[in-house]
Structure 1
Amino acid sequence: MKNYQFIPLLITNRCSDTIWPAISTQNGTGPKSTGFELKAGISQNLTVDTNWNGRVWGRTNCTFDTKGVGSCRTGDCAGHLECSATGAAATLAEFNLPAYKDKSFYDISLVDGYNLPLAIRAIFDTSDPTKIWPKANESNPSCVGGVQGLAPIGFNPYANNKQQFLGTSSSDPLPFDNKTSTKDISSWCPSDLLIKSAQEGKNNPQFKPCLSACSKTGSKYFCCTQDYNTPKKCGSNYYSRAAKKVCPDAYSFAYDDDTSTFSVPTGAGFEVIFCPGGRSTLSPTTT
């Protein structure tokens, strides 16, 4: 049996402009760098320990001085390049690697809001005979809640059989949402939760970052806290229902577990892909 101590964490920017990925660690040992600039088309290789529990998100429209002090339009970390807490209105990739019985759990979360399309690709060590890895189409969720990179309805990346998408092929295709229109994607965020549109580059479409009802109001009802901190007392709300329509595989509120949590055997690595293109994937229960 292999001794998995260091887990690869690859951060990839497929957006058309520079982003500033951020990483926070709740428990365990995370990467040495917790925030950095990542230009379009570039990947950053990091490692975490198997005990890591943390989050990854992207920041947009940032300006920092030589000391790493500045600000970002979305996902800001209290004005610092290196992060210690999650910024509001950010699409999150969440990981709990030592979760339970030799399994690592992960998800895409819109609980704090949405700013960038995001996908998670699990990376398997197929040379390890002791591991039974799941199929790629059961372990690689994607949330495309903006028009940048959105494929048309009927999206099929496997047309020539040799083509791959998020580690999958025609033999194990991902289930995509092929009902949501471009109009739906561009207008899903409730108007009272919209952050003023930000422009990504000169020739790119505007994206519309969206606060969640929890991050906007801090309400115990929307945040599932205090006397609302149980699944029976805290259900979906107007924001979470809108978010779930465009990103069925993502967490939309605190107790959205059934269709939003993914697991793989401990030892898998992960790639977090910003602006993966294509369309959002569908939860197994909705296909």
Structure 2
Amino acid sequence: MPYKIGLVGLPNVGKSSLFRLLTKKNILVANYPFATIDPNVGIMSLDDPRLTRLGEFWQSRKITPSQIQIIDIAGLVRGASQGSGLGNEFLSHLREVDLICQVLRCFPEKEIIHVENSVDPIRDFSTIQLELILADWQQVNRKLTKLKIRDEKSQKEQEICQLIAANLEKEIPVSRLDFSPEEKALIKSYNLLTDKPFFLLANYSGDRSEITELEEYVRTEKLTLFPLPVKLQEAASKLSAQEQEEIGCLPADFSVFSAQVKSLLKLKTFFTVGEDETKSWLASENITARQGAGLIHSDLEKNFIKAEIYNYTE
């Protein structure tokens, strides 16, 4: 199964337009809150210039990029963790993803409704982050209520949950807490929203001044940001390369986007090459050659003898 990225944000920030741009899948985009109720699901191919180069070198008949699943989750509003705007249902969809992409509206277009009546991406990020924290706090407290102390293991679990709950009350997300590998494995089973890696996507009109303050905030907070003028890129994608060059609107470099995704998910890429097909594969940073062979086919891992491996630069 491909890794999953969930697009989350307030209503009308451009999530569905971004989903359409990333997946090339046509869906409803409307100027009113909750145009998306059920999540849209699509596949995005991850750009990697190395794959193209290898395919050309081996003169492969087929080139197959790595893929990730993009899930467009309905807009969240203030109070989502309490059920506002079907928030609890939307947050449950978000628990199933591996990586969260928080889409922030930076474009000032007055014709498009903003649920907070003004454009302020830093405030919007804080609103969404608080709703995720509150949702996790509720889940951890439910866990504590049901947890029965039977042995040393359950006692330790109670202590971990109490620590998480106390920090969430201070608006400190789980991802900022330090735990041992064993504790992290336990916490991962809770599927907490603030334990998931995330990055911010600034949806702006094309004027970089719209995101200057956000960029400074991201640097200070040491967050990951990918600026993208979604509407402009969507329009440019319908033009020929010559037309794009004439109007000065070149396609965004999604290889940077892909690199960010892989870094946040702690993934690496390996390639299989040949005349029939050159293909890229996503794998955990710590994967062994034997486990990598298993991603290609289970029999290769089971009957593994050796692998002939080259670095791309070779």
Shared fold per TM-score greater than 0.5: no
- Structure with higher Rg: it is 2
Greater share of residues in strand: 1
TM-score when normalising by structure 1 = 0.27
